Amino acid sequence: MNTIDTPILDTFIESSPFGICIINAESQLVEMTNDKYSNLFGEIRESWLGKSVDELTEMGHPIDKKVILNVVGTNTTFNAQGLKLKVNHHGKEEQIDISLTYSPITNPDGSVTKVTIWAVENNARTIELQNVATEKQNLNVERQRSYELLHEIPAGIAILSGKDLVFELINPLYQDLVPGRTLLGKPILEALPELVGSEVEKSLRKVYQEGKPLSFSNDQVRLSNSVSEELEDRYFTYRLLPRFNSEGSVDGIFIFTFEVTQLLDSKVNLERTSNNLNQIINMLPASVVIIRYDNLIVEMINDANLAYWKKTREEVIGKPFLEILPDLADQPFAGQLRKVMETGEIIDVKESPVLFTESDGTIRETFVDYTYQPLTGLDGKRDGVLVMSFEITDRVNARKQMQLYADQLLYANDQLSMLYNRLAKSESRFKFVFQKAPVAIGLLRGKDFIIESANEKILEVWGKTESIVGMTLADALPEIQDQPFLGLLEDVFTTGKPFYANEIRAMLMHENELKEIFFNVVYQPIADDDGNIADILVVATDVSEQVNARLSVEKSEAYFKMLADLVPAKISNALPTGEVTFFNKQWLEFAGMNFEDMRDFGYYQMMHPDEITDFQVGLSEAAANGKAHVSEMRFKNSDGKYIWHLNIASPILDELGTVTMWVGSTTDIQWLKEEEQRKNDFIGMVSHELKTPITSVNTYLQLLLRKAEKADDPFLQKAYTQSLKQIRHMTDMINGFLDVSRLESGKLHLEKSDFDFSELIEEVCIDYQLQYSTHHIILNFADAVTVHADRLKIAQVLNNLVGNAVKYSENGTKIHLSTEVNDRKIKVIIKDEGMGIKPENISKLFDRYYRVEQQSKIAGFGIGLYLSAEIIEAHDGKIWAESEFGTGSTFYFELPVK
């Protein structure tokens, strides 16, 4: 709380004969001051207000921040005297001498909230006192002069002379402290007998004896005001100064005093008012803030307002409004505040939106009812605005929400009120519309809810006939006794507030059977001429169909889940974002987790790391093409063991072809994999066992061939050559199977070396030309190019592709073998003029054991291309085929060159 607009305080400060300046202990800002105070410094009051102590010090004011802090800390008064100050008085540079008294103002809990500075200009006094000390000779003359001056000093001043302390001089202000009592010429204890034995007496004696000044602030003195009055507790701030004679010994006492009784009372009042005001304002459910001056400084604010602004007190007090809430600059508030200050008009706005930018950048939309009330200072000038606001965001939002819900019903309601308006004009027409309205409408009269009218629709919904008109609702529909409707109607009747509900469920008797009906309903109270609720209008729309439709969707979803749990496969659902919404029982059992854990743990966590990338790539391709992604992949079970699965992720598309959902079906194929492994092991073993006998058969055949050559037996020569060809076929085949089984067990080892690719092609080509005179092999390759690869394996690929070209084309056709070198790659092209491949089969050519069906007459096992692809891929290369069915095929592969 900074400033309190209490007239008592204002009046007090304004009428005080002393300069007063009130500083806020916390903010160190000047809260109040009067003209006398600022005049002392040749300035106008406005230049002080709102300034901080530091700013005042900069302006040359002798105010001492340390003293203020000390007064706040110790809760004691402090006097600073003999402060010299150069001021500009009426255009003249003058040196003045002032005393500043710093007094604390405390809360009831004893903490200091403000410091009041009392300023007295005491040039005359100080000069005089110095003279007393230094120029004792001129004592009498000077005394006379000072006496004259003393009359002008705005404090009560008295001089007591001799050790009896006789009033030698008093100024009018001193006399005013005890009006009507005779002082001059009398000893003080005689003139003011109530002081006998008091602290004042003791202090006077002390000063007289010790020759040292004493100061007191807010000191209690029991003193009667005037002769006739009783003793009162009064408070004075005073100073006793010894007066010295020419010998340098004390011969009297100067008293400087001012009464602070009223001030203290005001202070107590001020505190009380301030605390009450604080408490009251803080207790208000409204937000309250006081804003001052053109720059709209926030002077006071309550907790509710701080909470609404989401600020702390430190962040707002003493700061310009727009600096605290810069986002309000574009909103009308600052302009309105200034207008109130200028014109004094009161602004009262209801349901105004106020937008705040939150720290995270989002906009907080709030609604408030607010009033701006001008505040006027004692001078009659407007200097501030009292802002009171009520935040009604919840109310506004709730209403908006409700409006939304009730739109449909309100529409019906609107129509109905239209009908109502027309009733006066044409009752029969109204009745017709009312009767035929597509919504159920009924009017219930009085607190017994007598059915006054019911249209066809409502009778249909209720399952009743017109015979119920005139009955009470409870009698007409006995089945609703234990349902909430009668209670709701009673609430509407007593509160006068309409009731809205959506999809409310009722069980109503239709032809002797309870039927479940859902409807959206409005109970609209209707007041009579006296404003009392007389009737309730019931408007309802039957929404059973849509509720049932929704329920059946929910049911079929549940059905789907049930089915999904029954199938042996693992089924899952996911959103297009990948967030999984469902795992069936098989999945959860496999993972050993509940749904939430499995969803949060992450489907990907269960995948074998080697397959995640392929899966992701495959999935995004599937999403782009709108096709299912099929892959064999491993998932970790609850024992941490990876199990092979056939995973099919199918996108569900909407009419526009966008993915709305993924359905995953994942089947355990571990046994199949194991079977396959066993088969591979077996093939590997058999192939290996066959190799030795075939090698020896080969050797024998060669020996026999040589013998036949020597014997010059052409028949045997041809027979042996033919047999050798068959043996070579068989060797190739066995090697192929061995390779497959090695590949399956991950044992395909590459032995890479640098070699000239052209040389290799030439070798393969010559080999074939020698063997197959049936086809024309045409070679067309680029110059020498070095690759770093497994020469034997690449030769195997070339043999395979050229072998296929021969195998799948007619005798006498051409086979083109060419290379292209570009972009650090070598591309090998093998083109035949054979039977070609149908487009739908091209993608499957490189699969293991795949053979195009029609060619089953041509021998083969479907492993050549599979092995070739594996070898090329192991070299970071690429292999593919193009073909025109019936015309020929072209196979390509690419390898990086060195």
For ligand ADP, the binding residues (CB under 6 A) are: 800, 804-805, 808, 832, 834-835, 837, 845, 850-852, 855, 860-866, 889
Among 873, 879, 741, 751, which Cα is nearest to 804's?
A: 879
Provide the minimum distance between the beta carbon of 714 and ligand ADP in the complex, in angstroms, as a whole number.
33
Which CB sits closer to ligand ADP, 211 or 862?
862
Pick 382 or 742: Cβ nearer ligand ADP: 742
Nearest to 845 by CA among 871, 864, 828: 864
3-class state of residue 388 by DSSP: strand
CB distance 352 to 367 below 8 Å: yes
Distance CA 825, CA 897 (A): 5
Q: Which is nearer to ligand ADP, 584 or 687 (CB)?
A: 687
User: Could you give phi then psi for residue 76, rounded to 5 degrees?
Assistant: -130, 160
Is residue 452 a contact partner of residue 461, using CB atoms and an 8 Å limit?
no
Quick one: which H or E segment has residue 149?
Answer: helix 139-150
- Compute the least distance from the CB of residue 765 to ligand ADP, in Å: 16
Looking at the Cβ atoms of 504 and 837, the one nearer to ligand ADP is 837
Nearer to ligand ADP, 419 or 863 (CB): 863
For residues 452 and 444, the answer to whether their CB atoms sit within 8 Å is yes
Distance in angstroms (rounded) separating the CA atoms of residues 487 and 481: 10
Answer for the pair 524, 544: CB distance below 8 angstroms, yes or no. Answer: no
- Give the whole-angstrom CA distance, residue 506 versus residue 504: 7
Distance in angstroms (rounded) separating the CA atoms of residues 892 and 898: 19
Cα–Cα dist 52/124, whole Å: 31
- Of 502 and 813, nearer to ligand ADP (C-beta) is 813
What gap in Å lies between CA 372 and CA 332, rounded to an integer? 12
Cα distance between residue 633 and residue 676, in whole Å? 15
> Are 407 and 496 in contact, with CB atoms under 8 Å apart?
no
Shorter beta-carbon distance to ligand ADP: residue 637 or 841: 841
CB 592 to ligand ADP: min, Å: 42
Phi and psi dihedrals of 183, rounded to 5?
Answer: -120, -50
From the CB of 621, what's the least distance to ligand ADP, in Å? 24
CB of 740 to ligand ADP, least distance (A): 11
> C-beta of 888: minimal distance to ligand ADP in Å?
8
Our CA dihedral for 840, 843, 846, 849, rounded to 10 degrees, sits at -40
Please identify, using beta-carbon distances, which residue of 161 and 890 lies nearer to ligand ADP.
890
Greatest CA separation for the chain: 176
* Distance between CA atoms of residues 179 and 666, nearest Å: 109
N-terminal to C-terminal alpha carbon distance within the chain:
84
- Minimum Å gap between C-beta 850 and ligand ADP is 6
3-state secondary structure 756-777: EHHHHHHHHHHHHHHHCCCCEE
Residue 81 vs 735, nearer CB to ligand ADP: 735
The tokens describing 776, both together, are: 């024309």
Least distance to ligand ADP, CB of residue 844, Å:
8
Smallest distance, Å, CB 742 to ligand ADP? 17
Closest distance of CB 861 from ligand ADP, Å:
5
Closest distance of CB 812 from ligand ADP, Å: 16
Q: Please, which residue, 772 or 850, has the CB nearer to ligand ADP?
A: 850
Residue pair 449/471 in contact (Cβ under 8 Å)? The answer is: no
User: In this complex, which beta carbon is closest to ligand ADP, that of residue 621 or of residue 810?
Assistant: 810
3-state secondary structure 574-586: ECCCCCEEEECHH
Pick 599 or 827: Cβ nearer ligand ADP: 827
How far apart are the C-alpha atoms of 560 and 573, rounded to whole Å? 11
Residue 835 CB, shortest distance to ligand ADP, in Å, is 6
Residue nearest to ligand ADP (CB): 860
- Tell me whether residue 34 or residue 889 sits nearer to ligand ADP (CB atom): 889
Radius of gyration for the alpha carbons in the chain, expressed in angstroms and rounded? 54
Looking at beta carbons only, is 790 or 832 nearer to ligand ADP?
A: 832
Eight-class DSSP state of 18: S
CA distance 368 to 385: 17
Closest approach of ligand ADP to the CB of residue 745, in Å:
20
The residues near 273 (Cβ < 8 Å, ≥ 6 apart) are: 4, 6, 8, 9
How much of the chain is helix, strand and coil, in % rounded to 5?
Answer: 45, 30, 25
**Residue among 266 and 809 whose Cβ is closer to ligand ADP:** 809
Tokens 């204002």 correspond to what residue?
Answer: 10
Beta bridge partners of 52: 29
Cβ of residue 730: shortest distance to ligand ADP, in angstroms? 13
Q: How far is the CB of 803 from ligand ADP (least distance, A)?
A: 8
For residue 897, the surrounding DSSP H or E stretch is none
